[in-house]
Amino acid sequence: MKQLSALDQHRKAYQPKLPAALRQGVDRVRIKTGSATEPVKDKEAIQTAFPKTYGMPLLSFETVAENLPSKPLKVGVVLSGGQAPGGHNVIAGVFDSIRAINKDSVLYGFSGGPGGLEKGQYEIIGTEKMDAFRNTGGFDIIGSGRTKLETTEQFDRCIEVINKLQLDAVVIIGGDDSNTNAAILAEYFLGKGLSTSVVGIPKTIDGDLKTAQIPTSFGFDTAVKTYSELIGNIARDARSACKYWHFIKLMGRSASHITLEAGLQTHANVALISEEIEEKKQSLDQVVETVCRSVKSRAAQGKDYGVVLVPEGLVEFIPSIKSLIAELNHLLAEKESEFAALDSTAKKITALGDWLKAENAATFKSLPSSIQAQLMLDRDPHGNVQVSLIETEKLLSEMVNAKLKKDADYKGKFSAQHHFFGYEGRAAAPSNFDADYCYGLGCVAAVLIRNGKTGYMASIRNLSKGIEQWEAGGIPITMLFNMESRHGKLKPVIQKALVELKGPAFLELVKHRAEWEIEDSYLFPGPIQYFGPSEICDAITKTLALEMG
């Protein structure tokens, strides 16, 4: 028999809290239809691409007095992309809800992500298996994957599997790309006369899948609290040892939500926000100077230590580096064989320096050789540099060190330590917030399925007001779309939500930035609390509290 930790044993017994509309049971929920919707932009192009699902209305839920009968439901569930705390509770919410709707309902778990749906790799999830994964982190109940379903051949193979199992619905749990896929599948299925619903669930620890209707994606709460505990520990160690500057890279390629939230939770001396750097068109040298300012000010007080938070995607937001990377992506594709024939890193660096345009060549040559080498690493499936492999935290510390050595007024001692927090937060045991939120999202998906809704994303709103005021419903995925260039072609995709520089969360950081740069204002959040006073164990993120009031 599998052994469980004491925490796991207690968490198995945790019963997630539900929004009021779902509390009497999903078989007593009626859908209310709201106003028609439009995408964020590119309306004509989106309508052309999604003629059957464009403009669908917002949906909200209300409780009715009587049970609403339903036939048994057959539902498939897919975990897509990287792990995020709470995924298992989404599945538990779907599982419990479809069986409450009709005791003979069946849940199929497709293994290994969207590829499992395409290939027909599945298992029936029963009570025993489901109970073993309630309130746990990770995606190991059925595994995840990053297969993109984007060709008609793939869609048709999915239809074969769906018809074989006679599925009423497929629930896709994923981020912006995965939910884009969900909308495309829903449109395709309708075009083929298939009645199977496709429902999306908003997942990503990066926090870049959110709108007014989706206040936060699931997993963000737990992941940032996990990282903030570690950052707080490091800050206390720095204050104790008094001899290291800690450069900490955090997840978030496309947006800096994690870094912003961690900065607010820990009061790190410097929290670099990529969106601000891009907005101000700052050079790499100016970013380095930002860190140097804090180092010098603290050294003047005899404090040769501190904490710097660096978002994973920072380099792509610095205009000069962004331009360099864009040309490198093009060159490494255009001169692939010629580049591969070079038999040393030094020769490759020299060749790129010669091939690049003058301005980009100057930027390339100004970088440490270790970073030059990392910029030449294999590209991702889209042909882009894999920024998670670039040691941005080391780049910054090396350049800070070099700049300080040339500063005659600097009398301190600078020594750096480096960290990258990524995997540490992706599969953590979900906080009470994520356990509740995710279970609720699964229940919402079941209500949408019972009512035959397709092309919708499950939504729970009003999250900052306490669970008594949470509002459940559904939003058409097409309302989140805009057109973006992918592989040289304009395609409909969900628009990523970046840090809003006029938003209250960022302005709160700005308000305290000068003080935190110089003083030891550190906060030590400690580990996630699952038991105790509600203001501690049910606490929401600073970002959510500030943005929603």
Q: Which residues form the catalytic set?
A: 206
| Closest to 454 in 3D by CA, of 207, 210, 192 | 192
> Is the distance from CB of 545 to CB of 464 less than 8 angstroms?
yes
Give 402-455 as a DSSP string: HHHHT-TT--S---EEEEEESHHHHTSPPPHHHHHHHHHHHHHHHHHHHTT--S
Sorted by sequence, the CB contacts under 8 Å of residue 516 that are 6+ apart come out as 263, 267, 268, 269
Distance, in Å, from the CA atom of 498 to the CA atom of 380, rounded to the nearest integer, reads: 22
Q: How crowded is the C-beta side of 135, counted as CA atoms within 13 Å?
A: 16
Which regions of 175-223 does DSSP assign to beta strands (E)? 197-202
Q: Which H or E run contains 122? A: strand 122-124
Identify the bridge partners of residue 126 per DSSP, sorted by sequence position.
Answer: none
| Rg value, the chain, Cα | 25
> Is the distance from CB of 431 to CB of 188 less than 8 angstroms?
no
- Looking at the chain, the number of H-run helices and the number of E-run strands are 22, 15
Question: 471-476 and 456-461 as β-strands: parallel, antiparallel, unpaired?
Answer: antiparallel
Distance, in Å, from the CA atom of 437 to the CA atom of 130, rounded to the nearest integer, reads: 18
> Is the distance from CB of 428 to CB of 222 less than 8 angstroms?
yes
Query: How many other C-beta atoms can be found within 10 angstroms of the C-beta atom of residue 117?
Result: 29
Q: Which tokens belong to 37?
A: 């919707």
> Is the distance from CB of 509 to CB of 264 less than 8 angstroms?
yes
Q: How far is CA 412 from the centre of its chain?
A: 39
Whose tokens are 């590209």? That residue is 379
| Closest to 89 in 3D by CA, of 12, 189, 182, 187 | 12
Which regions of 3-69 does DSSP assign to beta strands (E)? 29-36, 57-63
User: What's the CA dihedral at 51, 52, 58, 63 to 10 degrees?
Assistant: 180
